[in-house]
Amino acid sequence: MALGDRVLPMVQFLTLAAEDKGPEVSEAEISNTTQMANLSLTATSAKPANVTLLDLPPEILTHVLLHLPFTSVVICQGVNRHLQVLISESTELQYYIHLGVYGQVDNPRCDLPISERLSLLLARERCWEELDLDFSSTVEVPFQFKFLDPKLSPGLLYGVTTGGDLRYMRVPTVPDQKVDWGIIRSGETIITAGLCVCERDLQVLITAQPQTVHTNTTGFHTVNVIQMHLNQLSTGGPHPEAHQAIISFETHEQFRKPHIVMECAGDNLLLVLRDRTDTFKPDDQIYVYEWKTGDLKLRANAPFSSYRFPLFLTTHIFLLPNINTGELEYWRIPKNQSETTPSRPFFILSLPQPRSGAIFYTLTCRAEPNPSIQIYNTSKPFYTDPHHAIVNFYVSVWSGRYAYPEPRCFKLLIHRSSLVGCLDKYSASASFNNPPKPIPYGDWGPPICRWFNLDGASWTETTFGQRYIAPPPLDVGPEGAPLTVLNFNPMDVARVLAAEKHRLKAKILDEDRWMTGNHESERAAGLSSEDDPVKEVQCGEGNKGVPPQIHEGRVLGISSDQLVEKTEAKFRSSEPPFSAKAIIQSLDPLDDPYGCFENTVYSSLPYTSRQSRGKYNPDILVLDEESVLGIREGDERRIKEIHILHYG
């Protein structure tokens, strides 16, 4: 057998791995690994002709395995003893597996050794699994915020004060860390701000000033000049990558009180403008700029008060929930000037429709973190994978009738990867030339969504990554209530189910032994594989983000037993705490006592639930990457202090 013939099976294996893993694997990586294999096989050309993949040196085989989805690496441990020993004893492979299990992405710019990164990852996730508090601290707020938005940048809390300045603080990560409130002044009144710190060290301050202009057609009239100040947070000066320090544009004079919401992903700045008044009801405005060059990449209009919050699905596709139509609109950002600038969405998902006479009163969405091209500005060993983050929709329905004179509030949670996956599943419904046909909620929604009734609870933006912290009830007593953290990571669901199954089997065996003295296998307990007391979760193809589904069987191709038993010893020996519960109701009907929706709304997205040992009584709860922030309000809902609960 020729040398090329011996290398070919390995190249085919690696190519299939690349196709399975997705665009993360580059042709350069495949070429590099192939060259390594060629060198290895050349050096061992005296071997018999039947060289296999397992004959490769451990360092090359490890490199090949790192190109597989992490779930496939776990499965490979069951192939034979050679792979089992290689994978279980490789710190690099164990770190790779656990990054996938916990929905994290490695930061290649981190200088820490992989063994230390793995230890930090396991320690942090253990704290979250047990809600084991690392430390707590309280930060006073000595000024008054106009608004507070602690969700736009991981680990950074900031807001615009009533004086028009931007104030920010870094959330403490170690006990007794000194906290200082930074201040940024622009010389003009800041109406909103946005940060993209981890990726670009970028802060964007947006100001609006009325200005009288004159044209030959309209004469003198007033416009609002919107300015985006592109600064570097670490220095406070203009951002060095921006060709111009300020990007400006004008709005129509009918915008008496412009309200602006901004999001940043990659090189794109997305702004949605609407007017706060009902005087003229001008169309909403959508702008997308490439912040480095200042080029306008997209501009579009929509009827008055259609949009509240935009959401990036990828760095070049964003979603706009349309409150007037009850639809989720997908918009494409041109990647270069040769592409046609869109004037409408190219894909639409319909939400459950309100009953006759009712309307959507509020429809907002957030997801943290935002998609990014690459992490530049952090020394952290790993960060939350934005592709699998939960999208947090706040939905309220109002009829104005006696049945429910106040809007009724609901929460809708979906993985960002599931919303992206709908583009593949329903690709025939996408249209770039004509208005797309909306896909009914009943077709796309139930398997990948989870709805909650929020009546009787406070409203906050409370997701980060795949975790959601449930808002406290309004009637909580002075002693407070435990924190309730839900985790929508399907791997966590599988682990909790496996632990529940093992506990149930052990309980049945103990009872049987006590009653009969029988010490034989689990068959003595009347529990066979066909009588599995729990269902498990399946999430589809590798880590491509295929929507989780409820099935009897496996999660990502792995049984929950494999997930618990075939990973690194520290992970294998640790079970989720007994307080953890897995909720996997398929086609669970939404609690809708007022009949807000025309039809029964079903959802099935599985999750786990955990409660803290301690009780807390904040006015607002906010979830960050490493902490829970409890915000306490004083008179006139003025933010008084921030209580930080750090979990690693």
Mean pLDDT over 307-322 rounds to: 96
Q: Which residue has the tokens 């000194």?
A: 178
- What distance in Å separates the CA atoms of residue 170 and residue 197, rounded to the nearest whole number? 11
pLDDT of residue 147: 64
How confident is the model over 347-366, as pLDDT tens digits? 999 999 999 989 999 999 99
Among 10-24, 281-295, 309-323, 364-378, the minimum mean pLDDT is found in: 10-24
The values of phi and psi at residue 271, to 5°, are -125, 140
- What distance in Å separates the CA atoms of residue 564 and residue 575, rounded to the nearest whole number? 8
How deeply is 6 buried, as exposed, middle or buried, from its count of CB atoms within 10 A (0-12, 13-18, 19+)? Answer: buried
- What distance in Å separates the CA atoms of residue 345 and residue 615, rounded to the nearest whole number? 45
pLDDT of residue 295: 94
Mean pLDDT over 204-222 rounds to: 78
Of the candidates 442, 481, 463, 492, the residue with the CA atom closest to the CA atom of residue 609: 492
pLDDT of residue 429: 96
Work out the pLDDT band at 417, boundaries 50, 70, 90. very high
Among 360-369, 554-563, 605-614, the minimum mean pLDDT is found in: 554-563
pLDDT of 56 strictly over 50:
yes
Question: In sequence order, which ranges of 531-617 are alpha helices (DSSP H)?
Answer: 560-565, 569-572
Cβ-Cβ contacts under 8 Å for 374 (sequence gap 6 or more):
199
Mean pLDDT over 494-506 rounds to: 86
How confident is the model over 231-281, as pLDDT tens digits? 998 888 899 999 999 999 988 777 777 888 999 999 999 999 988 777 788
Cβ-Cβ contacts under 8 Å for 176 (sequence gap 6 or more):
137
Q: Which residue has the higher pLDDT, 419 or 634?
A: 419
pLDDT of 140 strictly over 50:
yes
156 has which bridge partners? 153, 170
Q: Give CA separation, 242 vs 230, 237, 336, in Å.
A: 7, 11, 18
How confident is the model over 424-461, as pLDDT tens digits? 999 999 999 899 999 999 999 999 999 999 987 765 66
Query: Strand, coil or helix: what is 388?
Result: helix
How deeply is 297 buried, as exposed, middle or buried, from its count of CB atoms within 10 A (0-12, 13-18, 19+)? Answer: buried
pLDDT of 148 strictly over 80:
no
pLDDT of residue 87: 95
pLDDT of residue 47: 52
DSSP assignment string, 451-497: EEE-TTB-----EETTEEEPPPBTT--TT-EEEEEEE--HHHHHHHH
- What distance in Å separates the CA atoms of residue 508 and residue 510, rounded to the nearest whole number? 5
Q: Which residue has the higher pLDDT, 403 or 520?
A: 403
Q: For residue 366, give both structure tokens.
A: 């957030």
Mean pLDDT over 84-108 rounds to: 95
How confident is the model over 170-192, as pLDDT tens digits? 899 889 888 888 888 877 878 88
pLDDT of residue 458: 60
Q: Please name the helix (run of DSSP H) or strand (run of DSSP E) that holds residue 39, with its range, or none.
A: helix 27-43
pLDDT of residue 50: 73
Q: For residue 195, give both structure tokens.
A: 């940060």
pLDDT of 525 strictly over 50:
no
- What distance in Å separates the CA atoms of residue 322 and residue 599, rounded to the nearest whole number? 20
Of the candidates 485, 459, 480, 494, the residue with the CA atom closest to the CA atom of residue 566: 494
Q: Which residue has the higher pLDDT, 428 or 30?
A: 428
CB 572, CB 122: distance < 8 Å: no
DSSP assignment string, 290-357: ETTTTEEEEEEEESTT--S--EESSSSEEEEEETTTTEEEEEE--SSTTSPPPSS-SEEEEPPPBPTT
How deeply is 605 buried, as exposed, middle or buried, from its count of CB atoms within 10 A (0-12, 13-18, 19+)? Answer: buried
Task: Classify residue 258 as left (phi > 0), alpha (psi -120 to 50) or beta.
Answer: beta
The values of phi and psi at residue 623, to 5°, are -100, 130
pLDDT of residue 336: 82
Work out the pLDDT band at 531, boundaries 50, 70, 90. very low
Work out the pLDDT band at 86, boundaries 50, 70, 90. very high
Whole-number mean pLDDT of the chain?
81
Among 383-392, 490-499, 571-580, the minimum mean pLDDT is found in: 571-580
pLDDT of residue 466: 97
Mean pLDDT over 528-538 rounds to: 37
- For 271, half-sphere exposure in the C-beta direction (CA atoms, 13 angstrom radius) is 30
pLDDT of residue 149: 54
pLDDT of residue 371: 92
DSSP structural state of residue 616: E
Q: Which residue has the higher pLDDT, 317 or 196?
A: 317
CB 156, CB 196: distance < 8 Å: no
Among 45-54, 372-381, 424-433, the minimum mean pLDDT is found in: 45-54
Our measurement of the distance from residue 508's CA atom to the centroid of its chain's CA atoms, rounded to an integer in Å, reads 39
Q: Which residue has the higher pLDDT, 161 or 605?
A: 605
Cβ-Cβ contacts under 8 Å for 246 (sequence gap 6 or more):
227, 228, 229, 230
